[in-house]
Amino acid sequence: MTRSHRMNGRSSRAVAAFSLAIALVGAASSAGAQVRHRRPMGPAPTVNYHFDNNSAGGSCRDYNCGGRCYDGHSGTDFSLGVGTDVLAGADGTVIATNNGCANTGYVGNPCGGRCGNYVQLQHSDGSRSIYCHMQLNSLRVSNGQRVRCGQVIGRSASSGSSSGPHLHFGWRRSASAASQDSYRGRCTSSPGAWVDQNSYPQSPAGTCQCVPSGETCNNRDDDCDGRVDDGISRACYTGPAGTAGRGICRQGTQTCSAGSFGACAGQVVPRAETCNRMDDDCDGMVDEGVCQMDAGATDAGRDASSDARADARTDGAAADAQESDVEAPDASESDASEGDANAGDASEEDAEFDDVAIEEDADVSPDRVDVPSGCGCETPAAPANDRATGVIVMMGVATVMASRRRKARR
Ligand SMILES: [Ca+2]
Ligand SMILES: [Ca+2]
Ligand SMILES: [Ca+2]
Ligand SMILES: [Ca+2]
Ligand SMILES: [Zn+2]
């Protein structure tokens, strides 16, 4: 509506029509945090007339105690050219519409209850908003439809009781409440309906209210902390299914930025199997088909090692027997001698074998490093080698001791 309503004294009928429409629709839904609006158009327009917060007839007072209003005005009039997109100021549901009024109305025109072509929305907190004087056949929404903040619901015109193109925005806290100023200020009891009403007497900001929800990767600030897609990351893996977590293969992490997930950082995917004591291709087998030479060398080393251990045990037994011979001269001479002789022979053979084994180790070790060429497989044989060497040293000591004992007895 415009200032001209006051001139013919019929503005109260428009308010009555708005109230009736609300009453017919039914009670408001659940109340929650107050729903707040963005300005219901793109570029910020001039506000022609604000809400009249002065109940006294014949005068008006806007929210800032100024006179940018007219007596009895029940909403906010934004100056808009014909055909400008009208946007939903907040999420809501369409609860009433009217179409069929001529684009150019006049003061006192009763079409659409003086509101002309209009859309009325109900919001999640039970509040209601109405958009008046819209263009004929421009409505883009219908009764019962859910709309989102910023969605185009139609276009502007000057239908109904209007003296020129503009958008009348009306707002009330609930179905049963009277219309209130959409602005808050010194001279109104209204809590205001805008996310950011800007400074007097400007039109409000074009920012939709942020309703907190879980942050997801969608290029929006879902949790309303001022940061878009903050803290959104997830595990990722581009290797074949079933290989992650096997062998060297590991999942990585990708982080959301501006609505999409970035590269998979830190992942390890299968690579060609090489001889390195690791499952490079993540098939559950280590060094399969690439370490034949190593396997042979390792077996040889293991054999030599176990032989050496067996010999060491034999020598130890012989030494013990000799010890007991010395300490218990009553024991059977012949048996002891036989045992000694055998032990001595074994020790000598071992000594020779030891020499050979050491030489073999010395010869084999470099080859083992070089074959297969380029794989750098020095580690597999090392432990066996060390064990063999350790056992050989023990054998050497035992042999020397046995030899000394034999000499001492002679
Ligand atoms: Ca956020
Ligand atoms: Ca987000
Ligand atoms: Ca493998
Ligand atoms: Ca490997
Ligand atoms: Zn108006």
pLDDT digits (tens, 9 = 90+) for 108-160: 999 999 999 999 999 999 999 999 999 999 999 999 999 999 999 999 999 99
Amino acid identity at 251: Q
Domain contains 357 = yes
Report the domain count for the chain. Answer: 3
- Our CA angle for 140, 143, 148, nearest 5°, is 60
Same domain as 167, residue 48: yes
DSSP 214: -
Distance 189 CA to ligand 4 centre (A): 77
Q: How confident is the model at residue 299 (pLDDT cuts 50, 70, 90)?
A: very low
* φ and ψ of 393, to 5 deg: -60, -45
The arithmetic mean of pLDDT across residues 261-267, rounded, is 97
Interatomic CA distance for residues 52 and 7, integer angstroms: 15
The arithmetic mean of pLDDT across residues 308-336, rounded, is 42
Domain contains 185 = no
Same domain as 16, residue 162: yes
**What is residue 288's three-state secondary structure?**
coil
Domain contains 193 = no
Distance 48 CA to ligand 5 centre (A): 9
Same domain as 268, residue 302: no
Distance 127 CA to ligand 2 centre (A): 27
Same domain as 149, residue 126: yes
Distance 88 CA to ligand 2 centre (A): 22
pLDDT at residue 403 in the model: 53
> CB under 8 Å to 177, separation ≥6 — which residues?
none
Which ligand neighbours the alpha carbon of 167 most closely? 5
Same domain as 229, residue 167: no
Which ligand neighbours the alpha carbon of 287 most closely? 4
Residue 87 C-beta-side C-alpha neighbours within 13 Å? 18
Domain contains 395 = yes
List Cα–Cα distances, 402 to 338, 346, 387, in angstroms: 14, 11, 22
Distance 368 CA to ligand 3 centre (A): 21
pLDDT at residue 211 in the model: 86
Residue 155, strand partner residues = 85
The arithmetic mean of pLDDT across residues 319-341, rounded, is 42
* φ and ψ of 50, to 5 deg: -90, 180
Which ligand neighbours the alpha carbon of 258 most closely? 2
pLDDT at residue 55 in the model: 85
Least-confidence region, from 111-120, 230-239, 311-320: 311-320
Same domain as 313, residue 330: yes
Q: How confident is the model at residue 406 (pLDDT cuts 50, 70, 90)?
A: low
Token digits of residue 384: 């066996």
Which ligand neighbours the alpha carbon of 51 most closely? 5
Which ligand neighbours the alpha carbon of 284 most closely? 3
Domain contains 148 = yes
Domain limit, last residue, from 223, 257, 286: 286
Same domain as 279, residue 301: no
Least-confidence region, from 79-88, 185-194, 236-245, 335-344: 335-344
Domain contains 207 = no
What CATH number is given to the structural domain containing 96? 2.70.70.10
pLDDT at residue 57 in the model: 84
Token digits of residue 322: 């000799």
Domain contains 300 = yes
Expressed as residue numbers, the domain containing 131 is: 4-172
Token digits of residue 318: 């012989």
Domain contains 203 = no
Distance 277 CA to ligand 4 centre (A): 5
Which ligand neighbours the alpha carbon of 133 most closely? 5
**What is residue 234's three-state secondary structure?**
strand
Interatomic CA distance for residues 342 and 314, integer angstroms: 10
Same domain as 122, residue 9: yes
Amino acid identity at 285: M
Domain limit, last residue, from 255, 286, 317: 286
Domain limit, last residue, from 259, 286, 313: 286
* φ and ψ of 120, to 5 deg: -120, 135
Same domain as 314, residue 267: no
Same domain as 158, residue 68: yes
The arithmetic mean of pLDDT across residues 315-344, rounded, is 42
The arithmetic mean of pLDDT across residues 243-258, rounded, is 97
Which ligand neighbours the alpha carbon of 116 most closely? 5
Same domain as 217, residue 123: no
In percent, the amount of the chain with pLDDT more than 90 equals 61
The arithmetic mean of pLDDT across residues 185-194, rounded, is 97
Same domain as 143, residue 254: no
Distance 351 CA to ligand 2 centre (A): 77
Distance 127 CA to ligand 1 centre (A): 27
Interatomic CA distance for residues 273 and 372, integer angstroms: 13
Distance 210 CA to ligand 1 centre (A): 10
